[in-house]
Amino acid sequence: MYPTGALIVNVRPNTFPPSRHLTLCIKPLKDSSGANIYLEKTGELKLLVRDGDRGPGQVRCFGFEQGGLFVEAAPQQDISRRTTGFQYELTSRHAESDLHTLSAPCRPCSDAEVLLAVCTSDFVVRGSIQNVTHAPEQQESAIHLRVSRLYRQKSRVFRPGPEGGGWRGRVATLLECGVRPGRGEFLFTGHMHFGEARLGCAPRFKDFRRMYRDAEQRGLNPCEMGTD
């Protein structure tokens, strides 16, 4: 609160020995103001979040080995109402493919990426798209799902529907991906980021069933799951 001067924030994993392949993501709090946040290593600074920046690209991710965080107060005439804050996540590098900071976030997943996503995602469900709502100011879309089979979920993203009609829930993706309601069933996978379910790979279920059985016959499946 009342930011002045500067400070260095060093984030460390709580596991021993720590993984060599970690990704650190930060997300400014909604009303954060009064300071710029930089990536710092051996005295060199790279701007990550500018004071007052709350745009759609507000999540910033980088490799853990790239440095620490340098938080510097921006010059202000009145600091009495300024509070600087951010959330952070430290994740294994394999989750990087699901962060919405990639150069091609809307590219369809390859067969190998789908099969790996089934094994490593925070949620894996079979279902259909009920509706899609858009938030242009945040450059994001919310996909409302009707789920017929729940394979895995680490958080309660999907809850029982009315009168025993499967599960209901929603996941987020970028507006530029142009997701629209459509017929048919899909396999939805993804990860939790900052308390929000983010869409990863989402092939049509019939396509997933084909690629899974092909890999199974060749002994290449990274894990097992039911496809009926």
> What's the CATH number of domain 102-218, 3.30.1300.10, 2.40.50.120, 3.30.70.3270, 2.60.40.1180?
2.40.50.120
Q: 2-41: string of b/e by CB count within 10 Å (b at 16+)?
A: ebeeeeeeeeeeeeeeeeeebbbbbbbeeebbbbbbbbbe
Which tens digit of pLDDT belongs to each residue from 170-219?
999 988 889 988 889 999 999 888 888 999 999 999 999 999 999 999 99
Average pLDDT, the chain: 84
Look at residue 125 in the predicted model and tell me its pLDDT: 96
Give the dihedral of Cα atoms 42, 40, 105, 194; nearest 10 deg. Answer: 140
Q: What is the reported pLDDT for 101?
A: 40
pLDDT at residue 79 is higher than 70? no
Beta carbons of 143 and 134 less than 8 angstroms apart: no
The CA-CA-CA angle for residues 65, 138, 70, to 5°, reads: 30
pLDDT of residue 17: 67
Most confident of 28-32, 105-109, 166-170: 166-170
Across the range 11-15, mean pLDDT stands at 78
Which pLDDT belongs to residue 98?
Answer: 46
Domain boundaries, the chain: 6-96, 102-218
* Cα 195 to Cα 156: distance, rounded to the nearest angstrom: 10
Distance (Å, whole) CA 71 – CA 84: 9
In three-state form (DSSP H/G/I as H, E/B as E, the rest C), the secondary structure along 116-158 is: HHHHHCCEEEEEEEEEEEEECCCCEEEEEEEEEEEEEECCCCC
Instruction: Report the run of H or E that residue 114 belongs to, with start and end.
Output: helix 111-120
* Cα–Cα distance list, 152 to 10, 21, 70, 105 (Å): 33, 25, 38, 23
188 pairs with which residues across the strands? 125
pTM higher than the cut 0.75: no
**CA 206/CA 213 separation, integer angstroms:** 11
